[in-house]
Homo-oligomer: A and B are copies of this chain.
Amino acid sequence: MEKEKPIGVFDSGIGGLTVVKRIASTLPNEDIVYFGDTARVPYGSKSNSTVIEYSIQDAKFLINKNVKAIVVACNTSSSIALKELRKQFNVPIIGMIEPGAKYALKETRNGRIGVIGTRATISNKAYSTEIKKLNPEVEVFEKACPLFVPLAEEGWIKHKAVYDIAEEYLKELREKKIDTLVLGCTHYPILSEVIQEVIGSDVKLVDSGISSAESVKFELDRIGLNTNKFSPGNQDYFVSDIPVKFKEVAELFLGREVSQIQKVELEALLP
């Protein structure tokens, strides 16, 4: 039955596990199939055409797993490939940008919103375009923070270097007197303590994973595709590579033990 199919979630790597964590807590009875393209990670430092090509392959993998909806749990991919994905695939596709933009608009009191993300997400102005479409009066300040991804993957959560780097990246946004900051990359919630400390405790952080999970719930409700089950949902994890230290980092991101992870051959993804 259509309602009992799993929700598909994909990401360039393991950052999307922070989104799976949010979806599983918002929709605990839904089955989830996750695909992380760890053989080609990261996407955030690559070109638009490459990101679109990879995203289509990732979505196709999930479609073949018979999913009822696809969550693009990668801000870079959401900011670049969403339109193309919606054109090619006939299931609801939920990205990170629209939900995050709406949530930020609900939070801001002074109409000054900051957005941080990968170089690709920021150079595409994905969040500022979306936010200004919803409310042209708001001012949006964007800043790429490329080093936050490797720092999170290294598991350096509160190291002195993280403070130095956050200080360098965020001082500009602090000067702009923003009152809301969108964490526009799924890796960033891992560093949220340091980010909060450096940007100031009066600034509200928006975790794009939380708003996206809410959006998935809303969408399934709207089209009547939520599961009827009352038992806890199953989660299946697929990745295109399993490097050294993978399990350790995946568990940091997911916030609990990861049991079965299956490796997919890259050839299987290609057209």
Contact = CB atoms under 8 A, between A and B. Distances in A.
Given A40-B39, A46-B243, A154 B146 contact: yes
Given A46-B38, A266-B53, A270-B270, A244 B120 contact: yes
How many copies, total? 2
Interface of A: 38-41, 45-47, 50, 53, 119-120, 123, 146-147, 149-151, 153-154, 156, 159-161, 164-165, 168, 240-245, 266-267, 270
Q: 4 closest A-B pairs (Cβ-Cβ)?
A: A161-B164, A150-B150, A47-B243, A50-B241
Nearest to A161: B164
A199 to B, nearest CB: 17
11 contacts: A38-B46, A47-B243, A50-B240, A50-B241, A119-B243, A120-B244, A147-B156, A150-B150, A161-B161, A161-B165, A267-B270
Q: Which of A146, A161, A241 has the most CB of B within 10 A?
A: A161
Contacts of A149: 150
Contacts of A153: 45, 146
Nearest to A145: B154
A244 B50 CA distance: 12
Contacts of A120: 243-244
A218 B266 CA distance: 38
Contacts of A244: 45, 47, 119-120, 123
A47 B168 contact: no
A147 B151 CA distance: 7
Instruction: Report which residue of A40, A45, A242 has the largest number of chain B beta carbons within 10 angstroms of its beta carbon.
Output: A45
Contacts of A165: 161
